[in-house]
Structure 1
Amino acid sequence: MVLGAQRVFVSHLSGVAVFDPVGDQVGRVRDVVAMLRVGGRPPRVLGLVVEVVSRRRIFLPMTRVTGVASGQVITTGVVNMRRFEQRPTETLVLGELLDRQVTLVETGEKVTVLDVGLTQVPGRRDWLIDKVFVRRGGGGLRRRRAGETLTVEWSAVTGLSLEEEGQGAANLLATFEQLRPADLANVLHHLSPKRRAEVAAALDDDRLADVLEELPEDDQVEILGKLKEERAADVLEAMDPDDAADLLSELPEGDMNRLLELMEPQDAAPVRRLLTYEERTAGGMMTTDPIVLRPDATVADALARVRVQDLSAPLAAQVYVCRPPEETPTGKYLGLVHFQRLLREPPGTLVGSVVDTDLRPLPPDTPLPTLTSYLAAYNIVSVPVVDESGSLLGAVTVDDVLDHLLPDDWREAAARETFAVHEQTENRRYGRGTADG
């Protein structure tokens, strides 16, 4: 599809790859920036919000877009790498217009915005929003069959330029349903607090739990605070115990205790245990859900557990062999078996016969520097944590250690460094001294 030849609906642009003229990918489209106008005139499309390397978002003016073909956006190759900052006069189409309830001018009935259509002004690179795809079912002067959809002119609806309370989020989420939790977390982070709360409310508990684990602490606390307490407790139950404990520790003590009481006892128990340890110790960083097997389990049993899709790579790297019970805190800890060893053994081999006992477990009060040295010395990605009685309490993974070693703003710093390198590369390629706006 060539720009100007056919209409482009904004939902079809979400996630589309952006390429420079030589075919190198610049990033992906995350939103469309428009300027609303008075008198029912179609809004001007100012540009695209493009997420480039390391999730940084930049602004790509529509005048720099030369075409859209086969699901990709082509630019002139001259890109300003400064971070996108939304201005008061700008509207994010995906983030702020989809799911909004508006009124049909002709009938006065309420409809919901599902999508909007963009069209290019003939012979120019200017773009306008001229069509609105809506769903009936909101009532009004002349009630129609619920669920009926239609496409109307922009001037045929009112209410898009007004701040609206209680805006839905179903259609916005539909455009991002394929995103990984970390990417969806980045989307939420860049939304307004009002819209962020609405999107969080629309996510199911498991999806919201995954996304919360990827958000900065301030965003986590803000979102959790806007949920009803029963819902907040359900989301905490769906989170990994160590992440739930980290989030709860940021709340006032009264709020923390109230949420723990609302959680199911079996879900609250490991979180309570984790909260008793100092933050920068093995006990404070460990997960209470490693793979635990009895010594009479087979290698086939172990590999089946390792193959569970939701298991993180560090936790899947080894299994821990313990006497019953298998839930932490377990019976006596016997040792561990590395994933590579499991692959070399016949499926019927008992894991108790191939246990590695050379790697000593660590006590829960082990400080962070000792943990770091332990992981580096033995070239492993997780370490067992055992109490004085010899019971396995959990395991500390290398990603948890890195989170505590790096500064609080490490994601932003990494993004700045990555973009500096990217910009230098682009400058050399196009022979310019600075990023060109």
Structure 2
Amino acid sequence: MSASRVFVARLVGCNVFDPLGDRVGKVRDVIVVYRRSDPPRVVGLVVEIPGKRRVFVSIGRVTSIGSGQIITTGLINLRRFQQRASETRIIAEMLGRRVTLADGSGEATIEDVAIEDVGPGDWEVGQLFVRRPKTSPSPFSKGPTLFVPWDQVRERAAKGQSQSATQLIASYSDLNPADLANTLLDLPEQRMLEVAEELPDERLADVLEEMPESEQVHILGRLEDERAADVLDAMQPDDAADLIGMLSDERGEALLELMEPEEADDVRKLLEYEPDTAGGLMTPEPIILSADATVAEALALIRRHELAPALGAAVCVTLPPYEPPTGRFLGMVHFQRMLRYPPHERLGTLLDQSTEPVQDDTPASEVTRILASYNLVSVPVVDKNRRLVGVVTVDDVLDHLLPDDWRNPDSTRPTRSRTVPVRRPSAVAAAVRGRRASDGTNR
């Protein structure tokens, strides 16, 4: 059964099915066109289908909207969605827009939009859910809300323009970083930059890690240095090193100076390596424990929420010190093996003797061969003195092997860079190598 009125923010993420009950994809936005006097007319939905492709589904193909799902005729054009000049996306462009109430009571901000069924295959914007400015100075207070018919508001901005990105971010709060990155790439450039500015540092860091390199550089280039450094602090060190390596030497050094010293040190170490070696691919923050540590201690570390699954698949056992570069590498203990032993068992008795580490200058092709040949999720990386310096995980290798545009392979959006940047040993890295050579600490 189709509802006669639906609020668009509630549609985002709803499943779309064909008449046979097979899932087609998920709703990501609703497209409307403005009319001279009547409310905006709904022309279709933006639906994300498998493969992260976003397609347009005409509202005429929708037979039912309700109960958290949408039924279509099953006839969907798989051509990638491209927004026309006359079209407006409700989630991406209308939410957060400032309007003036026609009764003269002041201004308000659009927080949601209701679309209404006005005939077979015909939907239009009906009511708006808006919030007035807050009247209390308390940071915890919010302004009052109300429902307003479309014809009782006057937009302050021109058609197609947007205001605050706050509402858009709230609407996409449940998306994982890869999906949010894909969503941002589909937005108009200025809107994408507005949303990036509003995202918290940790959320923006996660999103940048899922974007093509040229887009990472473009967004970071629009941030103030202090904000950019905070975002780099929140990124994985190997991803931060890749990004800094694509910047100019001057800005790269400036950002490293503004980063937290510990995070900057990790990035500087990675910049010393050629990008197509184990050292250039590795993550310098594996789980490292002593041989006397117990299974219970290792499992407690693996349970950390922020730990990437590939890093939690095994722990590295070394002699002290236990920060890279560590003491001599002794071996790895895999998660599954730990589950077979009591909590008090010492890790030194569970070492996997079949997994040999790779040298930090091992070519990426050889690292890939080792991971594939032995069905490994990660492989330890050591220096010439067999000190552990990091691990290469399978996702690090996949990022290296896939083409530069793999995150958005069929996008028709032009790249903003004239050339695709590739991480290079920068002047920053050269300076680090020079200092180490002069004091005898160069590996």
8 Å CA contact retained: 1:97, 1:160: no
8 Å CA contact retained: 1:334, 1:357: no
| 2:2 matched residue in structure 1 | 2
Q: In the alignment, is residue 36 of structure 1 matched against residue 14 of structure 2?
A: no
8 Å CA contact retained: 1:361, 1:384: yes
| 2:24 matched residue in structure 1 | 26
- Taking the TM superposition and a 5 Å limit, the aligned residue runs for 1:351-366 are 351-366=347-362
Gap runs ≥5 in structure 1 = 140-144, 417-437
Q: What secondary structure is seen at the aligned counterpart in 1 of 2:351?
A: coil
Q: What secondary structure is seen at the aligned counterpart in 1 of 2:26?
A: strand
Q: In the alignment, is residue 62 of structure 1 matched against residue 59 of structure 2?
A: yes
Gap runs ≥5 in structure 2 = 136-140, 413-443
Q: 2: distance between equivalents of 1:410 and 1:365?
A: 26
Task: State the 1:25 CA deviation.
Answer: 0.4
| 1:236 matched residue in structure 2 | 232
Report the CA distance shift for 1:283/1:198 in structure 2 as closer, same or farther (over 3 A): same
**Comparing 186-195 and 168-177, the one that deviates more:** 168-177
Q: 2: distance between equivalents of 1:406 and 1:214?
A: 13
- Letter aligned with residue 20 of structure 2: V
| 2:110 matched residue in structure 1 | 113
Q: 2: distance between equivalents of 1:357 and 1:200?
A: 46
Task: State the 1:304 CA deviation.
Answer: 1.3
Aligned residues: 407
Per-residue CA deviation, residues 75-111 of structure 1 (Å, 9 max, x unaligned), is 0111111110001111111000001112223216221
8 Å CA contact retained: 1:54, 1:415: no
- Letter aligned with residue 248 of structure 2: P
Report the CA distance shift for 1:14/1:138 in structure 2 as closer, same or farther (over 3 A): same
Q: 2: distance between equivalents of 1:79 and 1:359?
A: 49
Task: State the 1:325 CA deviation.
Answer: 2.1
8 Å CA contact retained: 2:98, 2:163: yes
Q: In the alignment, is residue 257 of structure 1 matched against residue 253 of structure 2?
A: yes
8 Å CA contact retained: 2:211, 2:407: no
| 2:367 matched residue in structure 1 | 371
- Taking the TM superposition and a 5 Å limit, the aligned residue runs for 1:305-384 are 305-384=301-380
Q: 1: distance between equivalents of 2:175 and 2:303?
A: 22
Task: State the 1:164 CA deviation.
Answer: 8.4
- Letter aligned with residue 9 of structure 2: S
Task: State the 1:161 CA deviation.
Answer: 5.7
- Taking the TM superposition and a 5 Å limit, the aligned residue runs for 1:74-153 are 74-107=71-104, 109-122=106-119, 124-137=120-133, 147-153=143-149
Q: 2: distance between equivalents of 1:219 and 1:413?
A: 14
Task: State the 1:377 CA deviation.
Answer: 2.3
Q: 1: distance between equivalents of 2:79 and 2:160?
A: 31
Task: State the 1:335 CA deviation.
Answer: 1.0
1:14 aligned to 12, 15, 19, which one? 12
Q: In the alignment, is residue 51 of structure 1 matched against residue 48 of structure 2?
A: yes
Q: 1: distance between equivalents of 2:409 and 2:154?
A: 43
Q: 2: distance between equivalents of 1:160 and 1:215?
A: 33
**Comparing 108-117 and 256-265, the one that deviates more:** 108-117
8 Å CA contact retained: 2:98, 2:157: no
Q: What secondary structure is seen at the aligned counterpart in 1 of 2:358?
A: coil
Q: In the alignment, is residue 189 of structure 1 matched against residue 210 of structure 2?
A: no
Q: 2: distance between equivalents of 1:69 and 1:132?
A: 19
Q: 1: distance between equivalents of 2:186 and 2:51?
A: 14
Q: What secondary structure is seen at the aligned counterpart in 2 of 1:133?
A: strand
Q: 1: distance between equivalents of 2:315 and 2:148?
A: 59
**RMSD value, Cα:** 2.0
Could you state the TM-score of these two structures normalised by the residue count of structure 2?
0.88
**Comparing 296-305 and 193-202, the one that deviates more:** 193-202
| 1:204 matched residue in structure 2 | 200
Q: In the alignment, is residue 281 of structure 1 matched against residue 281 of structure 2?
A: no
Report percent identity of matched pairs: 53
Task: State the 1:410 CA deviation.
Answer: 3.0
- Letter aligned with residue 170 of structure 1: T
| 2:138 matched residue in structure 1 | none
8 Å CA contact retained: 2:33, 2:42: yes
8 Å CA contact retained: 1:103, 1:110: yes
Task: State the 1:120 CA deviation.
Answer: 1.3
| 2:403 matched residue in structure 1 | 407
Q: 1: distance between equivalents of 2:358 and 2:101?
A: 66
Q: 2: distance between equivalents of 1:245 and 1:171?
A: 32
Per-residue CA deviation, residues 250-294 of structure 1 (Å, 9 max, x unaligned), is 111111111111001111000011011111110111001111111
Q: What secondary structure is seen at the aligned counterpart in 2 of 1:352?
A: helix
Task: State the 1:403 CA deviation.
Answer: 1.4
Q: 2: distance between equivalents of 1:236 and 1:344?
A: 39
**Comparing 350-359 and 53-62, the one that deviates more:** 350-359
Q: 2: distance between equivalents of 1:147 and 1:160?
A: 19
Task: State the 1:159 CA deviation.
Answer: 2.0
Per-residue CA deviation, residues 12-31 of structure 1 (Å, 9 max, x unaligned), is 11111000001000000000
